[in-house]
């Protein structure tokens, strides 16, 4: 049996973050996921330790999920869902009950790093998360300029046990980012493909096109990885290769 096509990172729950604004948009986004062959999604609204309490976030997320489930049932949409979060990096996360932020029923935790600066202590916090029994998944690693400038950072985090996710849109667009991602794939530094969908027009679900842009072997591996993560099964990735800087470029 072929693996399920999973979208492990999307912002489709209505009215909870900068993703879907209402239930009508949520249904349109889920229809697009279904048309692309996606059979299950992890709903990952943004969580910011410094801006909201875990209790208020969990309550709002649950209400949005219930509304989504009821609307899908009425509309006849059959896409399996699991609750999670896109957790913005902060050392303060270690004071929280991470079980409420991890993908429901699993030990996987999606972590977003800052895109405008490199915070201190990334490796230490990721290690502490793992010591708590969770596997951090670094969200859209192509968006961090300090990783692009020095991919050995990503190598260090992955070698220490973190997983890394990339956005389909970054692969689909031609340019330097897509070329760099192909290197990440060759170095075994990334493991999951997601849509990170936010809206119908500007950031739509696009996993079908994203998988087409992957090398066939990587596409099969990423699809299997997505299913393993969704069901909470252990994921054993291939050994990462340390990037080498030669003649003015990373190889």
Assigned domain for 64 exists: yes
Confidence category of residue 248, pLDDT binned at 50, 70, 90? confident
Give the CATH number of the domain where residue 99 resides: 3.20.20.140
Assigned domain for 192 exists: yes
Q: What percent of the chain has a predicted confidence (pLDDT) above 90? A: 96
Assigned domain for 244 exists: no
> In the chain, count of helices (H) and strands (E)?
9, 11
Q: What is the pLDDT of residue 1?
A: 64
Q: Are 46 and 62 in contact (CB under 8 A)?
A: no
Please provide the average confidence, as pLDDT, over all residues in the chain.
96
Q: What is the pLDDT of residue 72?
A: 96
Residues 6 or more apart in contact with residue 32 via CB below 8 angstroms: 197, 200, 204, 205
Q: What is the pLDDT of residue 89?
A: 98
Instruction: Answer yes or no: is pLDDT of 78 > 80.
Output: yes
Assigned domain for 16 exists: yes
Task: List pLDDT tens digits, range 129-174.
Answer: 999 999 999 999 999 999 999 999 999 999 999 999 999 999 998 7
Confidence category of residue 213, pLDDT binned at 50, 70, 90? very high
pTM over 0.95: yes
Q: In angstroms, what CA-CA distances link 41 with 81, 124, 181, 248?
A: 5, 30, 23, 40
Give the range of the structural domain holding residue 35, as residue numbers without chain letter. 6-231
Please tell me the distance from the alpha carbon of residue 196 to that of residue 193, in angstroms, as a whole number: 9
Mean pLDDT, residues 85-111: 97
Confidence category of residue 98, pLDDT binned at 50, 70, 90? very high
Q: What percent of the chain has a predicted confidence (pLDDT) above 70? A: 99
Please tell me the distance from the alpha carbon of residue 182 to that of residue 232, in angstroms, as a whole number: 27
Assigned domain for 247 exists: no
Instruction: Answer yes or no: is pLDDT of 175 > 80.
Output: yes
Please tell me the distance from the alpha carbon of residue 117 to that of residue 185, in angstroms, as a whole number: 24
Assigned domain for 149 exists: yes
Assigned domain for 226 exists: yes
Number of domains making up the chain: 1
Mean pLDDT, residues 30-39: 96
Assigned domain for 99 exists: yes
Q: What is the pLDDT of residue 158?
A: 98
């Amino acid at each position: 049996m072929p693996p399920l096509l999973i979208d492990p990172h999307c912002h489709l729950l209505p009215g909870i973050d900068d993703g879907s604004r209402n239930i009508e948009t949520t249904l349109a986004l889920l229809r697009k996921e279904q048309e692309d062959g996606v059979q299950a999604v992890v709903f990952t609204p943004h969580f910011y330790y410094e801006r909201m309490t875990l209790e208020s976030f969990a309550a709002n997320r649950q209400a949005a999920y219930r509304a989504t489930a009821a609307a899908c049932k009425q509309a006849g949409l059959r896409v399996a869902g699991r609750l999670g979060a896109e957790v913005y990096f902060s050392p303060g996360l270690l004071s929280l009950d991470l079980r409420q932020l991890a993908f429901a029923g699993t030990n996987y935790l999606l972590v977003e790093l800052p895109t405008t600066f490199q915070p201190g202590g990334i490796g230490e916090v990721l290690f502490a998360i793992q010591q708590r029994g969770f596997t951090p998944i670094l969200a859209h690693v192509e968006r961090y300029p300090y990783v692009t400038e020095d991919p050995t950072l990503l190598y260090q985090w992955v070698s220490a046990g973190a997983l890394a996710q990339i956005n389909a849109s970054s692969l689909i667009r031609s340019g330097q980012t897509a070329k760099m991602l192909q290197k990440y794939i060759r170095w075994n530094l990334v493991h999951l493909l997601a849509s990170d969908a936010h809206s119908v027009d500007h950031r739509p679900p696009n996993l079908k096109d994203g998988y087409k842009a992957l090398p066939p072997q990587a596409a099969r591996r990423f699809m299997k990885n997505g299913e393993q993560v969704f069901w909470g099964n252990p994921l054993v990735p291939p050994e990462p290769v340390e990037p080498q800087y030669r003649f003015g470029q990373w190889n």
